Structure 1
Amino acid sequence: MSTGPGRRLLVVSAFAVINIVGIVWIGHALMHSRAKVDVLSATVLSSRLMPDRLEVVFDQPMVPPDRVLQTEQAELFTISPPLPGVWRWSNRDAAEFLPEQRFPPGRILRLEPTLQIRRSTGKSLKTRTPLTVETQRLKLEQWTVRPADANEGRIRLVFNQPVDPKAFMACAGFHDVETKTPLAPLRCLTDRPGREIEVIIPCRPLQQFSVAITENLTGHGAELGLGEPVTIETAMPEGFALLHAHAGQPDLDGTADVVLEFTRELDLRQELPSVKTVPAVDGLQAQRRWRSLVLTGRFKPGARYEITIPATVLSKDGPTLGREVSAAVEIPEHEPRLALTHHSGILSPFGNLTLDARAVNVDGVELNAWRVHANNLVQHLQGGDIESTSRQTASKTIDVNMPSNVPTDLLLNLKGLLTQKTGIYRVRATPLNNRWAGSRAIVSITDLAITVKAESQGAMVWVTSLRTGKPVSKARVRAMSYNNQVLARAETDAQGIARLQLAGAHPDGGMWVITAEKGSDLSYLLPQDNQWVLDEMEQTGRPFCGNYEAMLYTERGVYRPGDTVYMTGILRDRAGVIPPVFPLTVQVNRPDGRQIEERLIQRKDGDQGVFHAQFETREDAQTGPYTLTARIPGSSHSIGAIKALVEAFVPVRMEVQAKAQSERFGPGQTPAVHVEARYLWDEPASGLPVSVEGILAPVIFSSREYAEYCFG
């Protein structure tokens, strides 16, 4: 029997298909045998502040390099108890979970792998056994004791997490150190879970006692306890005494607070005592807060200070310290922190697009931006959820190099974060080494400036260009209520003016926000948001006049030694009325505070409360501010004062103007400056030597080729 060519071809094809299938099956089996991975570790990682992320490390790479630091859309592990947050790949062989809130302390987190790991990476785990991770254990951070009366005292204990007072009392024992007998009865003043527990104990002044806390004490709702017993031995202070001194975290303005806590409340009527520090502290200020004296100044982070308190510090109920007391305190180093200078504002799309920030001990900044949807603007401004009112555009990381423990000003460039040239964006800046110390701002990238004037039947809105100052026509203007309802619409005319008509009280309320929109450009203004309320500014003003007040002034502000100072005063009573005629004294004090002259001023009838005085300065007189003070004879109370400068100055006799021949000079070019000078009696100042001193200053500029960078 013979076989044709077709049959031979069929047999060969069958063998080829079988071989291909076998090769594919073998490759598939080998690939999946290699794709089996194991978990090396699962730990909670901490920044300098506290635990802020959870990391799972595998025994082989899971993702390609381009996915490192990218947010993972899949849920790689389920966490119990549930925690909101996101997963991302911190390395090719490591994934980290970034929680939206701080990890609950004292808990055991259980991680169970999901099928999303294989779908996302093409690899599966060798075992699906749940992983366990522990968060911070309970810890006693500090404690203080003070007498309550002659036979009782108070002890306050501060933990790193909330503690149930009933659980604490069940795990704590109080004993007399000498007799070893329990102290009873005890009264817990804390009635709900919290970080502070305060207990009243029967204890006499100077009696030594101990507090023993078993290792089984756990935080409220937590699983992990102290881990080991904690024992405190101390003595009850006697009378009015200093309990302890502790320093708070330094602020970004370079200052820090040191709190000196006493056993009794301080007397607010006493003049603040002079507290000494070694080394000395610039700008040291003291203020009383109930039982504490708070020192604020430019303490150096990481340094140790010796603080001396005088014996004259007075308690509210009478006793003083009785002796000078010293305490040592160490100022903590700055925690990594960043704060944007402004939490809302406008940037021109034609500008540098940079945000001002101040930071300390930050080694990098992560910038994230969300573009706010126009129809969700009201909800977003009210603090609505970012994800539901906006769309994330991009994120980037900026490396930062700053000196340790020195608050530093930063410029954060937004280029590369914004999807469109204009719009309203929510920007978040987060230090890479402290995720909990970030700062947010809502930034309007717009060329539309809005001015609103309230009218009886609505509002007049004027829209102009921030870049040119010219009116913007055909801009759509809307007035929105607090519940996101459109109250009125209008369009600007050729003068950039639109009138929003609101007749009577609207059922949805008044105007809460006004928006202006043209093309993709959107701007807004909150009419009720008074931008000029400066609460941080001093607003008390000078004190009210007691009986009489004198306004003093000199005929000029500065005198040469040997000149005569002429002073004029205007006298009024507290109601602003010219007082009856009576004599006055004018006292003159040198810059060092020493009195050099006192003159009696005899007022005259019909002087309208105006009086004059003069004194001659010596040619060898001490230079500086001389103080002239008006008083009623026999009284030490000042009714008016003025300072006159006595300086060895030369009056201005010449005006000089200088202008560079070009706005900028490049490398190798010699700067040329045109100088003109004339005497003030209008005569050219010719034949005089001229010297020119130049100052080089950096200029911030952008490059089209490297648009994501800012130079200068």
Structure 2
Amino acid sequence: MYRVLVLLLLLACAGPKGNSPELESRIYAHTNGLIPRDAEIQISFRDNIEISPSDLADGSGLIRFTPALKGRTSLRNSRTLVFTPDELLPTDQEYRCRVNMGKVFKDLKGDTRYGFRLKVQPFQMELSTLSLSPSPGGNSQLQRLSGELSFPDKADQDWPAHMLRLVFNGRPVTLKGQLSSNARTYAFWADSLERGEEDRVIELRWSAREAGSSEQGTRSLTLPGTGVFRCLQLTERSSAPQQFVLEFSDPLDPDQELTGLVRLEPAVALDLKREGNRVVLVPRTRMSGRVQVSVAGELRSTHGTSLGEAWAGQLDLPEAEPGLRFVGQGTILPSGDSLLLPIESRNLRGLVVSAIRVPQDNLPQFLQVNQLDGQSELYRVGRRVWWQEFALPAPGERRQEWTRHVLDLAPLARRFPRGLYHLEAFFLPGHSLYSCAGMIPEPVLPGPLAHGENDQDYRAFLDARRNAAVQQGWSHSDDPCADDFFWSWWDDEPTRVTGRNVLVSNLGLLASSQEDGSLLVGVSDLQTGRPVPDARVELWSKDLLRLASASLDAQGFARLANPDAGLPTSWRDASPLLVAVRGDDRIFMKLDAASRLSLSGFDTDGVGAEHGLKAWITGERGVWRPGDSLFVSCMVQDPQHTLPAGHPLELELRTPLGTRYLSSRQNMAASGLNVFRLATAPDAPTGHWEAVLKLGGREFRQLLRIESVRPNRLAVDLELEGPLLAGRKLTGNLDVHWLHGAPAAGL
């Protein structure tokens, strides 16, 4: 018995066994720290791995958890294992994960178990909104209470209903609610809360005991009595732009002008909006600190009841949160002496920018799972080549406003030319100018500033900053004075990150599918706008098989035939990749549904080509008189060369009655443009004549207007001898010409 007890005691006291350096060197990254309930556990390796389907099956022992966890193991890509739990994980549960590395790398010897710990984050909740409004139907005698609960993690379907309890006038009331699709917000409401002669109290109580948490709280509202018009509360709406909401017991008189009745101090330019029983104040400049909203007693409800006494409320607003954002949405940046990328900051004195480069040769692989602006599986095809901490100029009094800066990427592009750069910009606690505990940091970031050129140095920099942070919990994730605002405790990564992909290229690419299945491609120079004749275009399948290629003509165009031979589906279904190449410059375009331009904003009227042949008929005027000459031009487009050179054309002119008047024949010009010189008799009938072009067994038609009235196409010049005055005869010269230059006599 003594030996057994000693053995159990030793096992109980034994901590987690450290991983050997050999195993650590094979692991690139894995999920760690606090994780959400719906998290996948990922293990990424530095080298490609080969695992048999039997090793991925349940019970193979490839990945084990303590306590036991049911789920399935799969390969995300050639270097990443993913374990997906069958159900949501229990809150606040700690797991120990062990990976049998011997099944991944056959050359490993000895103990091949790699271990790490995970913990599911504790459940937390927050009452985001709570408000009163007239019940649907507009009856202000009956009120609706509505609100919203927010959770940092997914909630079970039946949790929120057990968390809330509503008491109205001393009696419990049933609440209705709906959990959002992502299970992170719960909207609830209660209808038909009847107003009495006296004020009644509404009390909302909540407790998260159902979710295994000790969080609880109470919130009360007063429902005014019948006939009482009162301001209930003043709140700040979480939105952009900044908004303040005044909530009243009854809907407001829609005909009453609000200007002058609702005031905001400090006084700023203000927009007022009426929303039922609410007034929304939208200041045109962002406000911080203490603000006061006052309402005059003359404000009326729809029932004609006045507020009676003036009302005033105040809010203590935090200053603008630190923020960072790239400007615009483009991805392609033309090369030059400088490559300037605009970025805007607010309430910051510094930031960190890093670049992950996808080499030009790896871009087809990158685009297998991404658009040009995507960021999936970046480390499969790219690596971090540069990162740097920057100090921003002191913003002065405008620190709470967005300030624009520019990043010059030219040094980066010169050192690592050609390819796509995924830029990430973020800020950490030391970069913030947000005033905490009444103190504002120095406006200039002190040195030295960190920088590096590889992922190891970058991770070491983040780890050093992360280890100095203090975790306070999800409830502080919106507090710029807490480290939780800057860090994700799930994966130890910065949370205030904005990203942008940049592809340095001078080529612009346009592709249009044709009715015959071919692809018309145009390439232009983005710096000059001129066509690029000295380039070629290539079409690649999704599995990187070259399907077609062509050189551009002098106008910068090329046509690629439909390359469906040898493919199970047409190129439209295979989502191929179009590449334009000029020297070492390349531009890429995915030919999938997501990349197509919507035609809803374009005029798409026209006539489709039949059998690849198209013709257009026009004249030198819009209307002719009987006896005039008609110069009718016919333009023929035959890109597939279905007609032989010099093929005969016949143009037939028909009267408004449809009878044949005359016809003329020519051989088709090499340029595709033929001009027919026709004429009508002075006594020819007027109306809508028809020009019919007969070509290769097809007919093309165009209406021609021949009218007896003189067309009003005149150039008129009137010169008066003096000023235009009432009661005075004026004389002058009137000079009239037809627009083609001949004098307009006999008018």
Q: TM-score, normalised by structure 2?
A: 0.48
Q: TM-score, normalised by structure 1?
A: 0.50
